[in-house]
């Protein structure tokens, strides 16, 4: 029956649209792959350049393949050449960044979880104003707080130290972590908390027994967001620290800018990869959570 | 006493966060605002001096160049990020094979710092050994690409690197938006005979108005604050041709001992951000209340 109803012209039309469709698909993939190569290009260039010798770099082009897997520039970027003064390399600064990131992520996440919990499950008069008050911290351009922050760190005796940077990153992370946890806990049924309260469970017991066990996804989102933000920070690092206390992004920038000797692009690229690899690994392993943080964190900031 | 503690425990737990933000955000912004009305040089002075710093700021050639650069950068950055982001989102929305891989590729720059990507772009755009050389070796013998060291063009290298870093993010926002539209709407339109193009142009994109708004706000916010990328790519040079407000502010504050002037420039940035953010927050809150 169906076949009989189809006129020949209809079939022709269908045939034709099939070809246009195929053409469109090819076009689609072509554009998508074109853009993919634009996005992948700098990463590719970084990796191949880091594996070349300076001689190869001068003779080849950006795209040319290295002659072999030559990790020498990586070793130089990470551990230096072994002579004394003027030999800058990333290893100590990498550890600086770790020492800065771990406590700052921990404190800001913990505080954010607590405030998010109170703002949704222990609501009080004016709590939405308090939320707005905290939220505004996501938006301020940090230039407006740099000067007083520098003076405060000096007064506290922690300028140019990891401790100072931990404080800065913890404080300016709170608006974001609060936002994350608040938005997550809002969707947890309040009845759960009410029932526990009737059973006599207190403030902390409810948090640790009821909310914390179901918070794994938002903790992952928050930790990844904070880790990426703090690891990649340059403004605070470069303003509040220098010399030996500097985090890795500052050290990378100094290394690349230092014009003491001949530019070694292979070492520069290896350094950039080393400074970028931790966040890149997190992104590849936990992309889903990274994107969730990005779309909800950056939507507001 | 114990009763009181128990009753107020939630507020006590809130106190550190509120106190820290109150001091380090609001207190600090007010301090900066106050200092912008004083004649502070190396050290802050607390006698009021009126609008002198703002007059100095808007008479400064360097500041005018930074504002000009910011406007050019923001306009191009917005247009390219949003156009590329939308194209990628719509194309990815067509039941593409390996969508996950492509999405990962488009978005990975967001995981890297501007210093890392700036270092990479600086090498790629390097006039002697970078792209220029690549094209010359490919046979385009007169090919020149010296934007990085060209006063007129250097600002566009920052656009290239900035768009590369952030376009994937706009893609993610729009893809999430498109995916949240119910299938029925699209199906109904197709039954009515609407082609794919019409479906997107007439139905889906107009529905994405909140996403446009969000992307706009975020991108403007990023561009006003842009600092790292410029430091890594051009340091504001050649000369001062790529300087921007954020760079102006830190240089005045920490290299030139113009504390008052830098406070004034910081407040101008603050106001620019507020002008974009406050309407946004207002509309977001209204939407949330309407729900």
pLDDT score of B86: 94
Query: In B140-203, at which residue ranges do the beta strands (DSSP E only) sit?
Result: none
Q: Which helix (H) or strand (E) holds A249?
A: helix A248-257
CATH number of B51-290: 1.10.3720.10
pLDDT score of B48: 83
Residue corresponding to tokens 């700036």: B118
Nearest-Cα distance to chain B for A1, in Å, is 22
Domain boundaries, chain B: 1-35, 51-290
DSSP-based three-state secondary structure for B48? strand
Query: A149 to chain B: which residues are within 8 Å by CB?
Result: 24, 28
Which residue, among A252, A223, A158, A216, has the nearest Cα to B119 in the 3D structure? Answer: A252
The set of residues, in sequence order, having a beta carbon less than 8 Å from that of B145 and lying 6+ positions away, is: B125, B127, B130, B131, B132, B135
Residue A241 region by backbone torsions, left for phi larger than 0, else alpha for psi between -120 and 50, else beta: beta
pLDDT score of A16: 64
pLDDT-flagged residues of chain A (< 50): 1-6, 299-301
pLDDT score of A1: 41
Token pair, residue A21, equals 């469709």
d(Cα A240, Cα B138) in Å, to the nearest integer? Answer: 46
What are the backbone angles phi and psi of residue B98, rounded to the nearest 5°? 60, 35
pLDDT score of A2: 46
Nearest-Cα distance to chain B for A80, in Å, is 19
DSSP-based three-state secondary structure for B273? helix
- B34-55 pLDDT, tens digit per residue, is 999 998 888 888 888 888 889 9
Is residue B132 within 8 Å of B143, Cβ to Cβ?
yes
DSSP-based three-state secondary structure for B38? strand
Cis peptide bond N-terminal to B218, omega within 30: no
Looking at the complex, does the CB of residue B127 fall below 8 Å from at least one CB of chain A?
A: no
Chain B interface mutation, best of A144, A266, A280, highest count of B Cβ atoms under 10 Å: A144
Chain B interface mutation, best of A147, A160, A263, A299, highest count of B Cβ atoms under 10 Å: A147
d(Cα B179, Cα A252) in Å, to the nearest integer? Answer: 39
Point out the residue among A150, A253, A279 whose CB comes nearest to the CB of B111. A279
User: Which residues make beta-bridge pairs with B38?
Assistant: B48
d(Cα B17, Cα B13) in Å, to the nearest integer? Answer: 8
Question: pTM of the prediction?
Answer: 0.89
Nearest-Cα distance to chain A for B207, in Å, is 18
pLDDT-flagged residues of chain B (< 70): 1, 288-291
* Cα Rg, chain A, nearest whole Å: 27
Point out the residue among A136, A147, A291 whose CB comes nearest to the CB of B253. A147
* DSSP 8-state code for residue A64: P
Among A residues 143-162, those touching chain B with beta carbons less than 8 Å apart: 143-152
d(Cα B58, Cα B267) in Å, to the nearest integer? Answer: 13
Provide the residue count of chain B: 291
Chain A interface mutation, best of B3, B7, B10, highest count of A Cβ atoms under 10 Å: B10
What are the backbone angles phi and psi of residue B38, rounded to the nearest 5°? -120, 170
Angle of CA points A61, A80, A280, to nearest 5°: 60
d(Cα B276, Cα A178) in Å, to the nearest integer? Answer: 22
d(Cα B46, Cα B32) in Å, to the nearest integer? Answer: 11
Count of CB atoms within 10 A of residue A26's CB?
Answer: 10
Query: B32 to chain A: which residues are within 8 Å by CB?
Result: 144-145, 147-148
Is residue A37 within 8 Å of B164, Cβ to Cβ?
no
d(Cα A247, Cα B112) in Å, to the nearest integer? Answer: 15
Among B residues 35-54, those touching chain A with beta carbons less than 8 Å apart: 35, 44
Query: B245 to chain A: which residues are within 8 Å by CB?
Result: 143
pLDDT score of A223: 94
d(Cα A74, Cα A95) in Å, to the nearest integer? Answer: 17
pLDDT score of B257: 84
pLDDT score of A259: 60
**B108 with A134: Cβ contact below 8 A:** no
Point out the residue among A45, A115, A280 whose CB comes nearest to the CB of B14. A115
Nearest-Cα distance to chain B for A291, in Å, is 8
d(Cα B72, Cα B162) in Å, to the nearest integer? Answer: 13
**B214 with A115: Cβ contact below 8 A:** no
d(Cα A191, Cα A43) in Å, to the nearest integer? Answer: 50
The set of residues, in sequence order, having a beta carbon less than 8 Å from that of A107 and lying 6+ positions away, is: A166, A170
d(Cα B285, Cα A47) in Å, to the nearest integer? Answer: 45
Token pair, residue A283, equals 């992104």
d(Cα B90, Cα A220) in Å, to the nearest integer? Answer: 29
Query: B224 to chain A: which residues are within 8 Å by CB?
Result: 141
Query: A282 to chain B: which residues are within 8 Å by CB?
Result: 111
Looking at the complex, does the CB of residue A53 fall below 8 Å from at least one CB of chain B?
A: no
Query: B266 to chain A: which residues are within 8 Å by CB?
Result: 141, 143-144, 146-147
Token pair, residue A224, equals 């990844």
């Amino acid at each position: 029956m169906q076949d009989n109803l189809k006129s020949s012209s209809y079939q022709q039309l269908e045939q034709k649209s099939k070809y246009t469709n195929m053409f469109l698909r090819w076009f689609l993939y072509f554009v998508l792959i074109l853009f993919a190569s634009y996005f992948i290009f700098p990463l590719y260039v970084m990796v191949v350049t880091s594996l070349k010798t300076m001689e190869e770099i001068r003779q080849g082009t950006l795209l040319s393949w290295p002659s072999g897997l030559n990790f020498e520039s990586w070793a130089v970027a990470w551990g230096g050449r072994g002579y004394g003064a003027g030999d800058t390399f990333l290893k100590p600064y990498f550890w600086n960044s770790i020492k800065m990131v771990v406590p700052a992520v921990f404190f800001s996440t913990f505080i954010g979880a607590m405030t998010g919990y109170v703002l949704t499950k222990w609501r009080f008069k004016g709590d939405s104003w308090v939320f707005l008050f905290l939220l505004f911290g996501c938006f301020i351009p940090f230039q407006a707080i740099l000067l007083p922050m520098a003076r405060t760190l000096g007064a506290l005796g922690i300028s140019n130290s990891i401790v100072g940077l931990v404080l800065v990153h913890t404080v300016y992370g709170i608006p974001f972590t609060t936002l994350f946890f608040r938005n997550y806990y809002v969707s947890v049924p309040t009845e759960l908390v009410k029932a526990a309260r009737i059973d006599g469970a207190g403030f902390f017991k409810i948090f640790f027994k009821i909310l914390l066990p179901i918070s794994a996804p938002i903790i992952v989102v928050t930790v990844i967001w904070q880790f990426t933000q703090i690891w990649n920070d340059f403004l605070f690092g470069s303003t509040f620290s220098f010399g030996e206390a500097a985090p890795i992004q500052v050290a990378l920038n100094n290394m690349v800018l230092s014009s003491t000797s001949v530019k070694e692009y292979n070492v520069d690229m290896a350094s950039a990869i080393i400074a970028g690899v931790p966040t890149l690994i997190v992104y590849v392993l936990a992309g889903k959570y990274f994107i969730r943080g990005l779309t909800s964190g950056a939507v507001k900031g | 006493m114990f009763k009181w503690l128990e009753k107020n425990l939630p507020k006590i737990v809130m106190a550190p966060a509120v106190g820290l933000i109150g001091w380090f955000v609001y207190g600090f912004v007010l301090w900066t605002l106050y200092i912008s009305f004083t004649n502070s040089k190396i050290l802050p002075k607390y006698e009021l001096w009126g609008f002198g710093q703002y007059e100095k700021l808007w008479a400064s050639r360097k500041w005018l160049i930074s504002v000009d650069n910011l406007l050019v950068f923001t306009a191009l950055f917005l247009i390219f990020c949003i156009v590329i982001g939308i194209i990628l989102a719509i194309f990815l929305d067509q039941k593409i094979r390996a969508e996950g891989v492509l999405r990962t590729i488009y978005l990975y720059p967001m995981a890297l710092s501007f210093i890392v990507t700036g270092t990479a772009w600086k090498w790629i755009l390097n006039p002697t050994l970078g792209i220029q050389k690549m094209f010359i070796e490919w046979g385009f013998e007169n090919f020149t690409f010296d934007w990085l060291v060209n006063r007129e063009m250097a600002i566009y290298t920052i656009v290239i690197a900035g768009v590369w870093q952030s376009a994937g993010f706009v893609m993610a926002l729009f893809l999430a938006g498109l995916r949240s539209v119910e299938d029925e709407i699209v199906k109904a339109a197709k039954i009515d005979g609407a082609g794919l193009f019409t479906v997107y142009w007439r139905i889906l994109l107009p529905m994405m108005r909140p996403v446009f708004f969000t992307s706009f706000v975020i991108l403007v916010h990023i561009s006003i604050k842009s600092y790292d990328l410029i430091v890594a790519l051009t340091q504001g040079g050649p000369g001062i041709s790529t300087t921007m407000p954020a760079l102006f502010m830190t240089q005045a504050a920490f290299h030139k001992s113009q504390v008052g002037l830098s406070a004034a420039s910081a407040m101008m940035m603050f106001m620019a951000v507020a002008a974009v953010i406050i309407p946004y927050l207002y509309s977001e809150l209204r939407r949330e209340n309407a729900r």
